[in-house]
Amino acid sequence: MSEIKLTKSAPTEDNGEEKDWAAAKAFFDNLKTNKPRPPKPRYAVTIAVSSRTLFNMVKERKIYQDEGLEKYVAYQMEHENEPLMPGAAFPFVQALMNVNSRLRELYPDSEELFDIVLMTNNHAQVGVRLINSINHYDLSIERFCMTGGESPIGYLKAYMTNLYLSKDSDKVTEAIAEGIAAATMFTADTENELSKTQLRVAFDGDAVLFSDESEIIVKQHGLDTFFEHEKEFENKPLAQGPLKCFLEALGKLQRKFIAKNERLNCPIRTFLVTARSAASSGARVLKTLRSWGLEIDEALFLAGAPKGPLLEKIKPHIFFDDQMFHIEGAQELGTISAHVPYGIGQKYHKGKLIEQPPKKE
């Protein structure tokens, strides 16, 4: 009888990845440290922030623009022991870290946490100042991506990014085109005191959580046609918008607190702040969220009223909207805002069509 040789099947990519993580975990478990370790990317909610959103680098940016790259790098190296001042995303990042602390208390071994990645096109020489600044503020940011002048967008998928925040609108637009939730951050004109114990995130609806399909009707056919359309299609869910997946990720973490009977003490709170009217067009929005299996903690239908005063009361760590005039109104009253450059709203400002450059023939 011939000998039968048993051969092992080739390991799958997932198995290989699991083995790599297991080996890395075994190594790090033997190291003594009080610092929490970053979670596995496949389980984490990964937030990629640029250096100019995390820190205020207006002065440094001006040196780069006026004097060039070499002077900029030299300046950063000369001042690398001086911590950078907090930027627009700084309170948001601190709030994410607070949620992680609460999750670790309830689920000590869980990998379902926020993972913050610094995603920047800075050169590696600038990294020392960034690291020193992060350590100065005791921020839990262990993963860096410094691309030395190249666009970091190609790395977002590799880092399994759930949300990308930048000051560069072109990069944000590029990320959204790649199917990644992204927004351009703006600093508030005045400073509001934000919650230290609860992450508060406010979303616009159309062209942010949802597609711009209904907004197209408003812009092209007016409100009456829009109201009729929304009533007719009330039970048909809207298509998803660029930030739906981020709300989904927040909901996943919220459910972990609810499972521990912590709903009333949940450190994540979400808000829908929409210009829609409740009676005329609100039902479709709420039914869409229900069809997705998603909850929103508070829904505010403003029927065209300014969003700034309501946001001033909500005090979110970040507010997402697709229209710049809402962003500007929020900024004026102290809300840190993030513009989502998506949909037909990019062709309008305050309801008026922005003149487009003539197409080349």
Q: How far is CA 67 from CA 52, 60, 70, 82, in A?
A: 18, 10, 8, 21
> Rounded distance, CA 125 to CA 76, Å?
8
**What's the confidence (pLDDT) of residue 239?**
95
Residue 39: predicted pLDDT: 85
Does the residue 19 lie in any domain? no
Question: Residue 348 corresponds to which amino acid?
Answer: Y
Residues 128 and 203 in one domain: no
Statement to judge: residues 211 and 174 lie in one domain: no
Catalytic residue among 115, 168, 204, 321: 204
pLDDT score of 16: 65
Q: Are residues 128 and 204 in the same domain?
A: no
Tell me if residue 204 is catalytic: yes
- Looking at the fold, whether 140 and 234 belong to one and the same domain comes out as no
Asked if the structure places residue 358 within a domain, the reply is no
Structural domain containing residue 321: 199-352
Per-residue pLDDT of the chain (361 residues; tens, 9 = 90+): 333 333 334 445 566 666 676 666 666 556 555 667 788 888 999 999 999 999 999 999 999 999 999 999 999 999 999 999 999 999 999 999 999 999 999 999 999 999 999 999 998 999 999 999 999 999 999 999 999 888 889 999 999 999 999 999 999 999 999 999 999 999 998 888 999 999 999 999 999 999 999 889 988 888 889 999 889 999 999 999 999 999 999 999 999 999 999 999 999 999 999 999 999 899 999 999 999 999 999 999 999 999 999 999 999 999 999 999 999 999 999 999 999 999 888 877 666 666 554 444 4
153 belongs to a structural domain: yes
Distance between CA atoms of residues 3 and 16, nearest Å? 30
Same domain, 166 and 135: yes
| CATH number (domain holding residue 171) | 3.40.50
DSSP per-residue codes, 292-315: TT---SEEEE-TT--SHHHHHHH-
Predicted confidence at residue 346, as pLDDT, reads 85
pLDDT at 13: 55
Count Cβ atoms within 10 A of the Cβ of residue 312 and give its class: 0-12 exposed, 13-18 middle, 19 or more buried.
Answer: middle
| Same domain as 207, residue 171 | no
The predicted pLDDT at position 7 comes to 35
User: CATH number for the domain including 283?
Assistant: 3.40.50.1000
Range 99-107, long-range pairs (CB < 8 A, 24+ positions): 99/199, 99/253, 99/267, 99/268, 100/36, 100/140, 102/257, 102/267, 103/253, 103/256, 103/257, 104/36, 106/256, 106/257, 106/260, 106/262, 107/256
Burial profile 45-79: b = 16 or more Cβ within 10 angstroms, e = fewer: bbbbbbbbbbbbbeebeebbeeeeeeebbebbeee
Instruction: Please tell me the predicted confidence (pLDDT) of residue 354.
Output: 66
Note the pLDDT of residue 5: 35
Q: What pLDDT is attached to residue 218?
A: 86
Q: Report how many domains make up the chain.
A: 2
In a domain, 318, yes or no: yes
Residues 203 and 335 in one domain: yes
- Which of 122, 154, 185 is the last residue before a domain boundary? 185
* Residue ending a domain, choose from 185, 219, 235: 185
Q: Per the structure block, which two tokens stand in for 107?
A: 């689920």
